[in-house]
Structure 1
Amino acid sequence: MSDIAAILFDKDGTLFDFDATWGAWARGVTLDLAGGDATLAGRLAQVIGYDPAAGRFERHSPVIAGTVAEVAELIAAHLPGQSVAALVRDLDAAACRAPQVAAVNLERCLGGLRGAGLRLGVATNDSESSARAQLQREGISGFFDFIAGYDSGFGGKPAPGQLLAFAAQLGVAPAQVAMVGDSLHDMAAARAAGMRAVAVLTGPAPAEVLAPAADVVLPTIDGLAGWLAGR
């Protein structure tokens, strides 16, 4: 019998394949923000660590684990006259429209975990509004008891605020929660909160980077049921 009562998921790179979802978004949003200026769009892509030719993000891209506000601050430095607040609104709006590419069959996976009696949540460094819009559009928001973004009042990862708020809301001990994510920010947040740290490989970070910081590394969240059964 597993000692895990609840699972908290990161969103991008965990529930959704990171490059497949955000590659097209990055190409479009940089061109839009640059007003169609290809040279400026290329500079913005470089700032956010996106390689348009390869269609993927660099391993250390700030988009992978940073908040929308942090990304907006980086971009604002190259767009004179644009405020960070306005860029946050633009990026949030673009994120809400971004087509999501599921990392696995989410309805089957999440439904199985709920059927096993587990409580589920989402903690993302995206905004709460865009996270809710994306999860609702994919038809999976009903699986979650808790959805928090960096702007929900608990802070963002790698700080443990979102994670501890999830445990408190459910009335479970942090040690009974597994935090599942694709980045070192997720693993650091799990450690800081006193939770199990579960890494998945559906984001840009490879196993050799995640393994030293995680309790277990799984190819996708489909491996959670087996991992829990073996505890």
Structure 2
Amino acid sequence: MPVDAFLFDKDGTLFDFSATWNSWAADMLAQLSQGDPARAAEMAEAVSFDLAQQAFRADSLVIAGTNGEVAAVLAPFVTQMQEAELERFLAKSAATAALSEAVPLAAFLDGLLARGKVLGVMTNDAEVSAISQLERSGVLDRFAFVAGFDSGHGAKPDADPLLAFCAATGVAPEQTAMVGDSLHDLIAGKAAGMTRIGVLTGMAALGDLAPHADVVLPHIGHIPEWLDR
């Protein structure tokens, strides 16, 4: 079947994960720990963030988890906030993170639109963060569908949010490709009956993604060449 639509993950796919989120995490932990080095160290360990390297480890919950899941892990250390307030803090903070596009997004997305492709974003981040970041990158209008874990469709690795994209756009799952950097993305894609494209701009290695993907590419910029093949 031809691929008529692409549903993209956001972090690690449209935006390089490490370049975008490592500095954000360091600032976030500093704020939430209120200047207490011991508390910052405990929080960093809870989310598998290496303070010495100022970088997430590959097993971090933050890579594919929702803000709610991250808040639940951090809540025991953030005594100044209730868990729901902490979740809102994470969403608002993420919405202002400094972004590093995996490739120049406007030109890349315009190229797919010129081929007649339908485009969407489904992220386990909050919808408000996704919309803010896509808007700041000047590409929000390229997408027919943008959803977060809190948009009412569920979260990956469930298939439901992917199928919501198909329902909203009228493109069948078998004519849609799920593009992502994590197993959550690829497992959801398989469950939805979609083509699965893995990319290496997240924290997962080729060996992690390859068994679950139809193809693994260095980054999304290789998709047009893949289509031509």
The answer for the alignment partner of 2:131 in structure 1 is 132
CA RMSD of aligned residues (A): 1.0
Partner of 1:119: 118
Matching residue of 1:185: 184
The answer to whether the aligner puts 1:70 opposite 2:77 as a matched pair is: no
8 Å contact from structure 1 (residues 154, 162) kept in 2: yes
Alignment of 1:1-231 (within 5 A): 3-80=2-79, 82-230=81-229
Q: Give the letter aligned to residue 140 of structure 1.
A: V
Deviations 1:84-114 (A, max 9, x none): 1010111111101111111111111111011
Runs of 5+ in structure 2 lacking a partner? Answer: none
- Runs of 4+ more than 6 Å apart: none
Q: Structure 1: which 5+ runs fail to align?
A: none
Distance 2:215 2:117 in 1: 19
Counterpart CA distance in 2 for 1:32 and 1:26 is 10
Post-superposition Cα deviations, 1:10-54, rounded to whole Å, max 9, x if no partner, equal 000000000110000000001100111122112111111111222
Deviations 1:148-169 (A, max 9, x none): 0000000000001110000111
Between the aligned partners of 2:37 and 2:89, the Cα distance in structure 1 is: 19
Identity %: 49
For 1:32, what is the secondary structure of its paired residue?
Answer: helix
Report SS of the residue matched to 2:77. coil
Deviation for aligned residue 1:62? 0.4
CA separation in 2, counterparts of 1:105 and 1:202?
A: 14
- Please give the per-residue CA displacement for 1:165-207, whole angstroms capped at 9, x wherever unaligned: 0011111110000000000000000001000110000000000
Partner deviation per Cα, 1:198-230 (whole Å, 9 max, x = no partner): 000000000011000100000000111111111
The 2-side partners of 1:149 and 1:97 are apart by 16
Give the whole-Å Cα distance in 2 for the aligned partners of 1:210 and 1:202.
Answer: 12
Q: Tell me how far 1:81 sits from its aligned partner.
A: 5.2
Are the equivalent residues in 2 in contact too, given 1:19–1:55 (CA < 8 A)?
A: no
